[in-house]
């Protein structure tokens, strides 16, 4: 598998922006793994990810990373397929993460 430029062991960027791209669960898992140890990314923006109905699954992976990451301040996950379960995973992560100060989840499948 070829990893994208934003999935590298020595991630030094401050902003990760993924938009309108199909990415698979292995790539999301790799990104989440890197975010657990990364100390430079401040903004995580994943918009219009073409993941079918797997929004809750991939956001749960990122939520696990957010439980331990202490540099990300802004999380923007708009225009995806995140449902109630994904929103709960993210909320649980934010309860233990003191650094995230802004989250955008508009245009998802959260709520009725």
pLDDT tens figures, 62-75: 999 999 999 999 99
Report CA Rg, the chain.
13
Tokens of 89: 């995973």
pLDDT at 27: 86
Considering only the C-alpha atoms of the chain, give the largest distance between any 2 of them, rounded to a whole number of Å: 41
Q: Using CA atoms, how far apart are residues 21 and 47, in angstroms rounded to an integer?
A: 9
Helix (H) or strand (E) holding 56: helix 55-66
pTM of the model: 0.87
The predicted-structure confidence for 84-109, as pLDDT tens digits, reads as follows 999 999 999 999 999 999 999 999 99
């Amino acid at each position: 598998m070829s990893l994208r430029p934003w999935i590298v062991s020595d991630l030094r960027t401050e902003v990760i922006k993924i938009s309108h791209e199909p990415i698979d669960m292995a790539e999301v898992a790799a990104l989440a793994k890197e975010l657990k140890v990364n100390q430079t990314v401040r903004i995580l923006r994943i918009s219009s990810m073409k993941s079918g109905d797997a929004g809750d699954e991939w956001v749960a992976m990122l939520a696990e990373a957010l439980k331990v990451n202490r540099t990300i301040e802004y999380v923007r996950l708009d225009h995806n397929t995140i449902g109630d379960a994904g929103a709960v995973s993210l909320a649980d992560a934010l309860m233990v993460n003191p650094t995230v100060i802004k989250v955008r989840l508009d245009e998802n499948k959260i709520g009725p």
